[in-house]
Chains A and B, each alone.
Chain A
């Protein structure tokens, strides 16, 4: 079985809107996959289903052998410890420093202080923020805040990194730097990356697998694909 697998998945919201219809998808361990499509095409729903923020109405969603669709609410946290999530709006706690924002994840897992420090410093060093440990989010640029968000996502060495438009709020140059960081995580740590994005330049430049979603169904799936305007829109 693939590391991530969707089998005949439907997601119909309570208001009757069908976000995902009969979707099947396989992603191998260590893959880097872009999920592209226009706004409200269903890519965010797909991403959210991977970490069980949304539950499929029908079908199965396997992540690392676990059927997320059948996972009890009380066990969801176990799944999320295996998945790192990178958000468009970073979701950092404004009153905590960069170090504390990353450390609090491990603290909440019950790690010892002596275990936390090296892991946090390693994660922040990997994203190039070793010098900013004591900075608060409002003292950092958007790119730096996104790096803290990535460091927080990888600090527990997850098997998969789910990124929901991580460069959506960033300028092209900063976006490139962020993509370098994410690419290095994929190559050096072997982490599977799934990234929903609108950023045509990034998709075209990186030549990774591209899954195109249109009105809740997969309209195309290309190895080393590119952002095709006619398919995504």
Chain B
């Protein structure tokens, strides 16, 4: 019971301290709000980038055209050989008849032209539609397949894929670095606030030490104060995330600029991001105050 009593007294003391040093608390909460809003931006952006990167990765396929004179048995062998190449996720074979049918359905002009072809006049080549695990090494996979027997042409959006991968990679890295930097800035601000609180309560801390208060009991209220500042500071960013993202999603019709880049559905997603913000606020608050307590509370 004693530790629980001490815990509750620490919480109440921390709460009183937040109120007592209101102007200081407001200043640091404001800093936390700004930082967490920026963190929210970065998290929303990087999650969406991850999302449409994987969408694009899922959609990106490689088409392997087979030489015209290849027999069915050879095609069967080729499929086995392609399956054995690393980085292959899925292989679908399409005969020249299937390709003709699909193209006819896709476009009226194709349909008009192709409908005039007799069965043995079909000039199309059979093909394998291949999806890969990692688009970063799609080029290597294509080269390997190109060297297999009976393969005529291997086609994939080489330049587009590579530049997309590069751009997304840079954007992701920048947002990660920004999030980490902002988290440290927040921790530093909280640490400073707690430092000032410690100085303003120096007299009280000295007396507590002298009358035999344990170090833990002296330190706990400051840790809780950091925790409170972090959690209170995360309230506005959470509201901003939930309402801001839902508003943007509705306004933009669930896509960014083009239908290729779809945004993550807000339900569930905004609540997860909000939880992340509260946790970052709380952890960073505690960490900041822990740093200040360790450094400035000489007991």
- Which residues of A line the B interface, CB within 8 A? 51, 53, 73-74, 77-83, 85, 91, 93, 104-105, 107-112, 152-153, 156
Known contacts A110-B2, A112-B5; is A85 also within 8 Å of B210 by CB?
A: yes
Chain B, residues 1-39, CB within 8 Å of chain A (1/0): the string is 111011001000000000000000000000000000000
Give every chain A residue within 8 A of B299 (Cβ-Cβ).
Answer: 73
Known contacts A53-B210, A109-B213; is A93 also within 8 Å of B204 by CB?
A: yes
Q: Count the A-B residue pairs with Cβ separation under 8 angstroms: how many?
A: 55
Chain B, residues 86-99, CB within 8 Å of chain A (1/0): the string is 00000000000000
CA distance A105 to B211 in the complex (A): 7
Give every chain B residue within 8 A of A104 (Cβ-Cβ).
Answer: 208
Known contacts A91-B207, A107-B9; is A74 also within 8 Å of B215 by CB?
A: yes
CA distance A110 to B212 in the complex (A): 12
Which residue in chain B gives the minimum CB-CB distance to A112? B5
In chain B between 64 and 109, which residues have their CB closer than 8 angstroms to a CB of chain A?
none
CA distance A109 to B217 in the complex (A): 8
Min C-beta distance of A116 to chain B, whole Å: 11
Q: Are A85 and B203 in contact (CB under 8 A)?
A: no
CA distance A80 to B213 in the complex (A): 8
Give every chain B residue within 8 A of A105 (Cβ-Cβ).
Answer: 211-213
Q: Are B210 and A108 in contact (CB under 8 A)?
A: no
CA distance A73 to B209 in the complex (A): 11
Task: Indicate whether B206 reaches chain A with its CB closer than 8 angstroms.
Answer: yes
Give every chain A residue within 8 A of B206 (Cβ-Cβ).
Answer: 91
Known contacts A107-B9, A112-B5; is A77 also within 8 Å of B204 by CB?
A: no
Q: Which of B5, B204, B208, B211 is the one whose CB lies under 8 Å from A110?
A: B5
Q: Are B3 and A110 in contact (CB under 8 A)?
A: yes
Q: Are B2 and A78 in contact (CB under 8 A)?
A: no
Give every chain A residue within 8 A of B6 (Cβ-Cβ).
Answer: 108, 110
Q: Provide 9 A-B residue pairs closer than 8 Å at the C-beta atoms, listed in order of the A residue.
A: A77-B213, A80-B210, A81-B211, A81-B212, A91-B206, A91-B210, A108-B211, A108-B213, A112-B5
Residue among B6, B210, B299 with the most chain A CB within 10 A?
B210
Q: Which of B2, B207, B213 is the one whose CB lies under 8 Å from A93?
A: B207
Which residue in chain B gives the minimum CB-CB distance to A83? B212
Task: Indicate whether B115 reaches chain A with its CB closer than 8 angstroms.
Answer: no
Which residue in chain B gives the minimum CB-CB distance to A84? B211
CA distance A170 to B2 in the complex (A): 39
CA distance A91 to B2 in the complex (A): 27
Which residue in chain B gives the minimum CB-CB distance to A105? B211
Q: Are A109 and B212 in contact (CB under 8 A)?
A: yes
CA distance A108 to B206 in the complex (A): 13
CA distance A84 to B210 in the complex (A): 9
In chain B between 188 and 214, which residues have their CB closer than 8 angstroms to a CB of chain A?
203-204, 206-214
Which residue in chain B gives the minimum CB-CB distance to A96? B204
CA distance A174 to B206 in the complex (A): 27
Give every chain A residue within 8 A of B1 (Cβ-Cβ).
Answer: 112
Which residue in chain A gives the minimum CB-CB distance to B9? A107
